[in-house]
Amino acid sequence: MHDDSHWEEQYAYTLGMQAYVYGFPWVYLSFLRWLWTTAGGKALQVSQSLTLPWAPINTFFRSPKLANPRTPTGGSPNCDTLYAVAWLDVSNGPLVISVPPVKDRFYCLEMAGIDSDNFAYVGTHVTGTDKANYLIAGPGWEGEVPRDVLDVLPRSRTPTIFVLGRTQVRNHTPDDLKLANEIQDNYKLTPLSSWHRPDGPTRPEVIDPHSPLNPIDDTEGTWISMNKAMTENPPGVPPGINQLELIKLFATIGVGPNQSWENQSPATKAGLARAAKDGLAMLRKMAQGRGKTINGWSYPPKDIGMAGQSSDFITRAALQALGGIVANNSSEAVYLNTTVDKEGKQLEGGKSYKIHFEDKDSFPPFDETYHGFWSITMYQSSDFNLVPHSVAYSINSYYPEFKPRDSKGGMTIFLQRERPEKERKDGEYWLQTPKEGNFYLIMRVYVPGPDVSYTQTWKPPAIEMMRGDS
């Protein structure tokens, strides 16, 4: 039982809540790094029947197929691109990432530090479509770079780096899936020290990271893991924003680089244990959405993707880290989501709805120059997965089968359990809802226009309940 009257516990609790929000990415991403890269992590995946990426540090995991209802992973996976995932460590020197020419589709390699904030992109929109080699270096690194390696990416803020690659699949044909796989098979990582050295190692050094405790399961372990992760990957290092005073403040309760949980008083430990429990509950609530809402659809905060660099630590912890590990910058892609209909009522399985785009000008704007497109995907709320056994779970504006429009150039999407009985007309499509339970939709806009990415003035159509289901 905690003692609210004890000033030391209260101080640790109140400041600990802020420290938890600030430091959550270090704990959560460190745990995922261990889970996705180590033998122990692989064993845990197998024991719990988890379908997650796995590859040693400094190597790529490449998903050969698009997400589908038969391979539940959680995390609201997109059905538009193949994923290529890599956890990097540049503490012993830079790496070179090589990409092939990609002329016919959207692709991007998003790079973030252990803080969940992006620091660089390679891809169609940011660096172009040519074959190239790019230097990935840690904070403060300086040195000579070969002529055939481009030193144009900002330095990472932490030695640990998370790379999330997305390679567009343009249609449902096996031939295009093969082409997309060939592209991501040519994403390569090489130590700079081995570049043009036949006798050097052909692959980066494989590092076995420490085993952190899962912050969702262990409140005391949260602080032990946070201190260890921040010692390994110190926050507030240039080129990141200066956070020295905040780090010094958290150190007064034993949180941060080179701090010790074991050396804290029983009252401080009690306050921090409470803060970890309540902090996680708060992040879970906030992760359900925060931002501008239009017609029931929620835009993400404008600083999403690099929220910590704007000192928006609650967005970084809840929406970036807990909600998605990392999040795209709004200039690269914007994800709108909704859980409610036009009347503000929760979307429910077993009921029927529709989404109507009035004409050709009512769709989300994107830049075709960079192979931009949009999609709408259906998920069940219980586990953030695609609807089990669904045969109609995503609509993609790039796919040929979704190109036909109605007489005004618009589109109607029916949301219901059974396939519509009537013969569908041009511009009429279907997403299959779950039999029961709540569901939600995510509308992804890749390379969005400024009224989606910047002003957030584009208005998505409201979801209407069909007659007879009220």
Q: What is the pLDDT of residues 235-244, one digit of tens each?
A: 999 998 999 9
Residue 375 phi/psi, 5° resolution?
-150, 160
Give the span between the Cα atoms of 413 and 138, in whole angstroms.
46
Determine how β-strand 353-357 pairs with β-strand 411-416: antiparallel
pLDDT at 3: 52
pLDDT at 187 over 70: yes
Give the span between the Cα atoms of 293 and 313, in whole angstroms.
21
Give, in order, the Cα–Cα distances in Å from 243 to each of 111, 238, 276, 308: 21, 10, 21, 10
pLDDT at 72: 79
**Domains of the chain in sequence order:** 7-33+210-286 (1.10.3360), 39-194 (2.60.40), 293-465 (2.60.120.600)
Q: Sign (positive/negative) of CA torsion 149, 154, 156, 162?
A: negative
Q: Within a 10 A sphere around the Cβ of 317, how many other Cβ atoms?
A: 29
Q: What is the pLDDT of residues 289-311, one digit of tens each?
A: 678 999 999 999 999 999 999 99
Determine how β-strand 428-432 pairs with β-strand 411-416: parallel
Q: What is the pLDDT of residues 127-156, one digit of tens each?
A: 999 999 999 999 999 999 999 999 999 999
pLDDT at 445 over 60: yes
Closest C-alpha among 290, 240, 277, 259 to residue 112: 240
Pair of tokens at residue 177: 């899936």
Mean pLDDT of 189-199: 85
pLDDT at 82 over 80: yes
Q: What is the pLDDT of residues 355-373, one digit of tens each?
A: 999 999 999 999 999 999 9
Q: Of how many residues is the chain composed?
A: 470
Mean pLDDT of 6-16: 95
CB contact set of 391 (below 8 Å; sequence gap of 6+): 432
Q: At what angle do helices 244-251 and 7-37 cross, to 10 degrees?
A: 110
Mean pLDDT of all residues in the chain? 91
pLDDT at 172 over 90: no
pLDDT at 210 over 60: no
Q: What is the pLDDT of residues 27-71, one digit of tens each?
A: 999 999 999 999 889 998 999 888 889 999 999 999 999 999 988
Q: In what order do the strands lie in the sheet with 411-416?
A: 428-432, 411-416, 353-357, 463-465
Confidence of residue 197 (pLDDT cuts 50, 70, 90): confident
Say if CB 11 and CB 283 are below 8 A apart.
no
CB contact set of 40 (below 8 Å; sequence gap of 6+): 34, 211
Q: Report the amino acid identity of residue 465.
A: M
